[in-house]
Amino acid sequence: MFESKRILGIDPGLTRCGIGVVHGTVGRPPKFVAVGVVRTNSELTLPERLVRLEEGLEQWFDEQQPDYVAIERVFAQHNTVSVIDTAQAAGVAALVAARRRLPVAFHTPSEVKAAVTGSGRAGKEQVTTMVTSILRLSAPPRPADAADALALAVCHAWRGGHTNRYAAPVAAAQGRS
């Protein structure tokens, strides 16, 4: 049997970085802990925005004390600037977790959608509806980035990180340092 852990899900973004925290394990309904976003001002320089993102994430990690971190894997889109910004935000999130020696798992959007809705092609509204139901929330989490972050945490809780081919090498590398 798997022990219940606190999982911090991150939907990376430079303008809005969704954060969702659940307490859960494989085979059990996860329990809602917290949800929110870290925002950065688009008028700041890129380095300043990355620092603001790091500061916001550090605060979430300090307050929530997660056992695991689940980050959405960045995938190629038509808008390369958006992909680069998202990848940089994901890198900052992974760095904050790695400094704390926390295991980090990367889940693809379709993996998360399939875990939460049963379909890897589900739309954002369907993901939000299912997250609201699964976690027994009184209202849907807003904005969508926050709902997506909760979906990441739920996905990781249910899968336990065992289906993620990147989790074991990251954990092994962290153990060597």
CATH number at residue 17: 3.30.420.10
Give per-residue pLDDT as tens, 89-116. Answer: 999 999 999 999 999 999 999 999 999 9
- 166 is in which domain, residue-wise? 5-176
Q: Does the annotation count 11 as an active-site position?
A: yes
What domain count does the chain have? 1
In the chain, how long is the greatest CA-to-CA distance?
49
Q: Pick the catalytic residue from 3, 11, 62, 148.
A: 11
Q: Does the annotation count 72 as an active-site position?
A: yes
Q: Does the annotation count 62 as an active-site position?
A: no
Q: Pick the catalytic residue from 3, 48, 58, 72.
A: 72
Q: Is 0.85 surpassed by the pTM of this model?
A: yes
Give per-residue pLDDT as tens, 141-157. Answer: 999 999 999 999 999 99
Distance CA 109, CA 173 (A): 25
- Average pLDDT over the chain reads 89
Q: Pick the catalytic residue from 85, 111, 145, 148.
A: 145
